[in-house]
Each structure stands twice: as structure tokens, then as C-alpha cells.
Chains A and B, each alone.
Chain A
Amino acid sequence: MHSMEGWLRQDGRKGIRNIVLVAYLVECAHHVCTKIARPFDDGEVQVIGFSGCFPSEYGHQMMEALCTHPNVGAVQLVSLGCENFKKQQLAETIRASGRLVNLLTIQSAGGTSASVESGRAWVASTLEELARQPREPMEVNELVVGTICGGSDATSGLTGNPAAGLAFDRLVEEGAVCIFEETGELIGCEQIMAARAANGKLGEKIIATVEKAARYYASMGYGSFSNGNALGGLSTIEEKSLGAYAKSGSSTISGLLKPAEQAPTGGLFLLDVVPDGPPKFGFPNINDTAEIIELISCGAHIVIFVTGRGSVVGSAISPVLKVCANPETFNRMQEDMDVNAGRVLLDTTQLPEVGKEIFEKIVGLAGGEKSASEKLGHTEFVLTYKTASKPEPGCHTV
């Protein structure tokens, strides 16, 4: 068993990575960020940002949560200069969190080349400084772990998701925060999920949250169901949902979270990714990466990603642990996968073994090991417009 180590942050959380983010505050600054980050290892320096020029409370909340995520050591903010983003406020939040921050404005720096040069110089000196920061021992009860499934097929619910659920049970038992999500992919599970809530009031909220998701997707005209899901043997959203639901394990559900909100204590939480109120700005999450980024905005150090068809994505900020549910996919795409859960199909007694392997890989990642997607340089990032959610203090009934 590896020992876990983390960088202690001012707010008491520990990070398992010490990343320098280069963050654009409007799409117009994206290219400069990409150029700033290019000479550096993408494991150490990663590009994230908010593309929109119109003000967004949600975008601001998300950028604050991501730039002060425990896995982040420093942030190079890049503004074009005329966008609506509250950049001074963001820079101040990052500074107040004890992190190094540099705000660069392209229009005042004198254009692309001058900005790239100045940004690279800051990043290079910051990396030297971060390299001197010590790590401290870390325990399982300091971990926040998210789970998502993507590129699902009929094997996801048979092997990968139940195995991820077993790993979640073990993590919750040891005091970690575990977060599962995508209420649009839990349609049909609301009653059985409510029965697992810590109390009746939370159970009612869970049902209301899934009903909200069903209404939202109905008004969008499409549910969260892809062509690949059907090719892989899934026939309905309920069937996909029941498979997806298995990754939550069997622990008591302690509360609901909104994006960019941290869990108050250890336990199992459901992330409500669907905005309240009438639909605005389109689909709640346009792809798997948008969901992963929201899990990370709630402080997830690691995201378990169960896939049947075979997804290759990783993520900026936090490592993604790829659990492959389908043995045929695993054989085809081995370099992208961390865990071969498909072996359960041939021998169901393997399920607890796979659950244990996922748990041990999580501990390994927290000890500094790299996931398959990290080794391949994946640092996907997506953040779009959404209606901001006000945290509900009454929601966490632990």
C-alpha cells in the first residue's frame, strides 16, 4: 500500500497535485494561454478558462472554485482586457487562498508575443517555487472522490459501475467524501435512491431533483442517451440509469451538492448538475468533460470514470481513473484504461477484487502515481454558461 501525500493549503485541504493553471477569462485570451503553457509539461501546467464575454455568475463561481482547488498551486490569469469577467475579484480570491497568482492583460501587455513571453517567465519562476513546497502525509478521510460514467454500454452497469460502487463504499466507510452525479442519468432510480437518503426530507429533495432533470431534458428535446449507448445494448434511459446508479454503491446518501460547492463532512453526496428554474443556455452539461469539471469544482481530487464503449478523456486539475467495463473494449484500448473491470463478465466472483483494485489505484494516485490519461497528456476542460445555483444550507442533512 502506498502512502498518500498532499500539499497542505491554507483552508486545510490537501492537494495531490501542485499544478500551475494558465486561465483565460474570455475565448480571445485562449490562444495566448495555449502558447504560454506549450513549453511546459502538461502535467504541471494546464490551460483552463471561461470562453464567454457576457457576465456569468456561474462562470465566476466555477472559476473561483477551480482556481482554489487543492490540486492547484498557482494561477496565471490571462485577460484580453475588454471582457466582462470580474478578473480583479478572481485574482484577489486566489491570492487570499494563499496561492501565487499573476494577472496578465493582453491589451496592456502589448499584444500576443509580449503576453506570451511575460506569462512564460512567470510560470517558469513559479514552477521553481512550487518545487520547493513540501508535502505532508494524507489520509483517506481527507480525499474527495467523484464518479462519472461515459461512453456507457450494457456492460457498464454489470461490471464497472458496481465495482466503482464497492470502491465508493470503502471510501465512505473510511471517512472520504464521495460524489456521484448526473441526475439526468438517474431518471427511473429516484424512488430507490430516496430510500437510501439520510432522512425523509432529503429523500423528497432527491426525488424533486431527478424530476427537475427529467423536465429539463424533456424541454431540450433529447435525453442523455447516445447512439453508442443503443449500439452497446442499452435500450432506454431507465436501463442506462439503473446501470449508472450502481456506481453510487450502497452507503447512506448524506446530502445534495450544487456545482462549486464543497461537502461539509465525509459521506456520499449527489451532485445536482441541473439548474433550478426554467431552462436557460441549453443542455445542463454538454458532454462528459463538463460533468467531470463540475465534480472537480466540488473539490474532487480524483474522478473515477467508468466506460464501456471506451472513452479516452482525462481532465485538467484532477486525475481521472479509467475503469473499463467491457472486456472487448479493454483489449482494443488498453493504453487508455487503468482498470479492467470486464473480467467480471467471465467470472462474477471477481467483482470485489475489482472494487479493491479501484480503491488501491485511488490511494496510488494520491501517492503521486499517474493515471493512464495523465500519462497520455489528457487535460480536457469545458465550462459553459449555466444558471448559477445558490448553495442551500438546509440541504446537507448529515
Chain B
Amino acid sequence: MTSSDPRLLVLSERDNILVLAEPVEAGEILNVCGTPVQVQASLGLGHKLARSAIPEGKDVLKYGLPIGFAARDISIGEHVHVHNLTSRYTVVEVME
């Protein structure tokens, strides 16, 4: 499954995130389900982008299952990671 941009993987139709199948550089334009989105900072493969806008407090779904909740409003195409996605179990402490 793709999201019309071959660099973005849809792991499950239920998901509200997409996974990068290859690294992208800052400034590149990605096609997120029809919406052109400019990459803000370079990202490695495997990182997640919002497939649609995710309001604060809403579950982030990957593999069709919740992997935590949006710590703040996330816009379409935005990088979804430790800065805006929080575990419902153990809070992650980033060391460096």
C-alpha cells in the first residue's frame, strides 16, 4: 500500500500515520494523500508523518493499533515522534 507517494508506506488503512520507506531531506515535497507537504527537517527511514490532522489527546494509530496519543495538535504531513506523541504506558526519556 502507498499513499500515492511511493516514499510513504501505509501499514494499515486504520492508521493516521505514514512511514518513510527512505530518508528525506529538508525542503523536499512529499505527497501526503493528495496534499503537498514540505519536509521541515531531514528524516531517516522508518520515521512517521501524520496522514491526517491529529487533534491533541487522540490516539496515534500504527499497524492499526494505538502507539500512544498526540501530546498536542498535529497537522497533516508533520513529523510524529517523541516531541508530539506520548506513551500511555512508560514515558520515554530521550538521553541526548
Contact = CB atoms under 8 A, between A and B. Distances in A.
Q: Do A and B come from one complex?
A: yes
B46 A233 contact: yes
Interface string A220-234: 001101010011111
Contacts of A188: 65-67, 88-89
Contacts of B68: 235-236, 238-239
A251 to B, nearest CB: 18
- Is chain B's binding surface mostly helix, strand, loop or mixed? loop
Given A155-B45, A157-B63, A227-B96, A235 B85 contact: yes
A187 interface: yes
A190 to B, nearest CB: 10
Interface in A344-371: 345-346
A187 B62 contact: no
A158 interface: yes
A365 B88 CA distance: 41
Interface size range of chain A in the complex:
20 to 34
A391 to B, nearest CB: 29
A153 B46 contact: yes
Nearest to A227: B95
Interface of B: 9, 11, 19-22, 43-48, 62-63, 65-68, 80-82, 85-90, 92-96
A230 B94 contact: yes
A236 B96 contact: no
A154 B90 contact: no
Interface string A55-74: 00000000000000000000
24 contacts: A154-B19, A158-B9, A158-B11, A188-B67, A214-B90, A218-B90, A223-B92, A225-B90, A227-B95, A233-B45, A234-B46, A235-B48, A235-B80, A235-B82, A236-B67, A236-B68, A236-B82, A236-B89, A236-B92, A238-B88, A238-B89, A239-B67, A242-B65, A346-B21
Contact of A237 (B9, B11, B66, B90): B90
Contacts of A236: 67-68, 82, 85-87, 89, 92
